Amino acid sequence: MAKKNFEWYQQFTEREMIPLETSPSHGNLTFLYPCYGPKRYDVIHDAAQNVGGVRISTFEETSFILSSLAKEHSSEIRELMRERWLWTSTGLLPSQNGKGVYIQDRTKVHGPLGSGRPHMDESELTKRLKLEDSEVRFVPFGYKTKNMKRDEFLENELIVRAATKPAAERLVGFIGRSRKDVYIRDTHIGPYDNGHVITLHSPNNHTYNRFEIDPSNGNMYGCAFLVPTEECHRENLTIKSEEFKAYMKNKEAESEAILKKWTESQKEGEGFF
């Protein structure tokens, strides 16, 4: 299959985002289609935070959304996921005692825009667990990673806790016959990492015929489905999507202006700022 050019992916930042709904059996969710990107996780998260009314979908919500897509939309997203990642806001953070991994929905970001990374704080997560916060879970190590069959995926404790069993079943339905196996990549936490967010990827690789669950530190370009916050009514969602895109366009214009100024300063042999 021919690799798509950059312009094909950029269309997802230009097209109008339309509110759609999943059925009750698929989570009963409202979401914006198409997904937005490809951008870094922190860039999409920043825009959603500043505009308000929308947020990046969780792993569970994304699984329900994917499985509910009409055929033409499903084909388009499958094509996108061959070369790009699909962000979710569900984060993973291995515990310092090495006994397991924390799971957190709606993961926030720390650091300057354009290089910020997902941020999870173990002390805060421990407190939220004691308060039985539904957005925070803990799974002991022992669950399988790397290559596995679909029935193993559906029984995987990390997946069941991160996405719920019904959502995992729907995700397997979306994967369909196009991918033989599912691959869960290990979480590698470096000295500057404070968590990873779960991404979904279906690489165009004939050697590995698999669907990937890939924890990421946000340092790559992916797309994200946007869903309304609790404060945003469905009738206001279209307006919020327009505000979101306008915010992103303004940010890109600011970035281009800074780059232009830097380029000119280099030509003139001057310092920058």
Tell me the HSE value of 243 on the side-chain side, using a 13 A CA sphere: 13
Which pLDDT does position 243 carry in this prediction?
94
pLDDT digits (tens, 9 = 90+) for 168-216: 999 998 987 666 788 998 865 555 568 999 999 988 765 567 899 999 9
Percent of the chain with pLDDT over 70: 86
Listed by start position, the domains of the chain span: 31-268
Among the listed ranges 86-95, 112-121, 127-136, 262-271, which one has the minimum average pLDDT value? 262-271
Q: Is the peptide bond before 34 cis (omega within 30 degrees of 0)?
A: yes
Long-range Cβ contact pairs of 173-176 (< 8 A, separation 24 or more) = 173/67, 174/63, 174/66, 174/67, 174/69, 174/74, 175/150, 175/202, 175/211
SS3 of 127, please?
A: helix
Which pLDDT does position 203 carry in this prediction?
82
Whether the per-residue pLDDT at 98 is higher than 90: the answer is no
Which pLDDT does position 116 carry in this prediction?
87
Among the listed ranges 14-18, 138-142, 156-160, 183-187, which one has the minimum average pLDDT value? 183-187
Q: Crossing angle, helix 71-83 and helix 6-14, to 10 degrees? A: 130
Query: 268: how many CB neighbours lie within 10 A of its CB?
Result: 8
Which pLDDT does position 273 carry in this prediction?
39
pLDDT digits (tens, 9 = 90+) for 120-136: 999 999 999 999 999 99
Average pLDDT score, the chain: 87
Reported confidence tier of residue 111, pLDDT bands at 50, 70, 90: confident
Which pLDDT does position 53 carry in this prediction?
95
Cα separation, 191 vs 186, whole angstroms: 16
Tell me how far CA of residue 123 lies from CA of 90, 128, 258, in angstroms: 18, 9, 38
User: Where is 202: in which H helix or E strand?
Assistant: none
Which pLDDT does position 34 carry in this prediction?
95
Q: Crossing angle, helix 237-268 and helix 41-51, to 10 degrees? A: 120
Whether the per-residue pLDDT at 154 is higher than 60: the answer is yes
Which pLDDT does position 262 carry in this prediction?
58
Tell me how far CA of residue 216 lies from CA of 10, 138, 255, 273, in angstroms: 21, 19, 24, 33
Whether the per-residue pLDDT at 232 is higher than 70: the answer is yes
Whether the per-residue pLDDT at 1 is higher than 50: the answer is no
